[in-house]
């Protein structure tokens, strides 16, 4: 568990699934993704994150604030076939009720600090839909620098209006 100001990050538990599935099914909350995510895929995501944290020490953590599930934040190794393949990426997703409280920024900062201290992580990347101004603002607040040479379209969604994905980096 990692403790931040007004929140904690913890490894996934089975009882996080209901809140995760509800968050992933919210059309407004998922507006910057090609589609919402059903309960089965949410459960698969939870399992992958639990396994990643246990085996490598790197993954997305649950964010808790006000004694409730607020979303997730953390680091992961990029395995998708995109320009930042193999790099460490910081990512987050929050339930709508938790937006606008600084949790994504503070949680990402804590995850990056932990990854650098505990795992020796160097440069950290982040990517989001060109339409996702809120996530892009988090990247800027983290001190990340825009890398337009690394932008990419989501495979399988060439005509999706949220394309391209824009990339930022926080150098070590």
Enter the CATH code of domain 2-170: 3.40.630.30
What is the structure's pLDDT at 164? 84
d(CA 71, CA 73): 7
| pLDDT over 80 at 140, yes or no | yes
* pLDDT band per the 50, 70, 90 thresholds, residue 160: low
What confidence tens digit (pLDDT) does each residue in 82-104 have?
899 999 999 999 999 999 999 99
* pLDDT band per the 50, 70, 90 thresholds, residue 161: low
* pLDDT band per the 50, 70, 90 thresholds, residue 158: low
* Lowest mean per-residue pLDDT among 23-27, 70-74, 161-165: 161-165
> What residues have CB less than 8 Å from 160, skipping those under 6 apart?
34, 153, 154
Beta carbons of 61 and 93 less than 8 angstroms apart = no
What confidence tens digit (pLDDT) does each residue in 36-69 have?
789 999 999 999 999 999 999 999 999 999 999 9
Every domain of the chain and the residues it spans:
2-170
> What residues have CB less than 8 Å from 156, skipping those under 6 apart?
none
């Amino acid at each position: 568990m990692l403790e931040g100001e007004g929140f904690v990050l913890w490894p996934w538990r089975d009882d996080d699934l209901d809140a995760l599935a509800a968050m992933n099914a919210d059309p407004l909350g998922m507006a910057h993704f090609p589609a919402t995510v059903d309960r089965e895929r949410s459960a698969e995501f939870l399992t992958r994150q639990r396994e990643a944290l246990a085996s490598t020490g790197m993954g997305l953590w649950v964010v808790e604030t006000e004694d409730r599930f607020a979303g997730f934040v953390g680091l992961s190794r990029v395995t998708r076939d995109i320009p930042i393949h193999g790099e460490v990426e910081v990512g987050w997703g929050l339930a709508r009720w938790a937006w606008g409280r600084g949790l994504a920024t503070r949680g990402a900062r804590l995850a990056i600090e932990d990854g650098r201290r505990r795992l020796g992580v160097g440069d950290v990347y982040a990517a989001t839909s060109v339409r996702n101004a809120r996530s892009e603002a988090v990247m800027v607040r983290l001190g990340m620098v825009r890398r337009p040479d690394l932008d990419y379209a989501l495979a399988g969604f060439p005509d999706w209006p949220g394309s391209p994905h824009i990339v930022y980096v926080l150098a070590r």
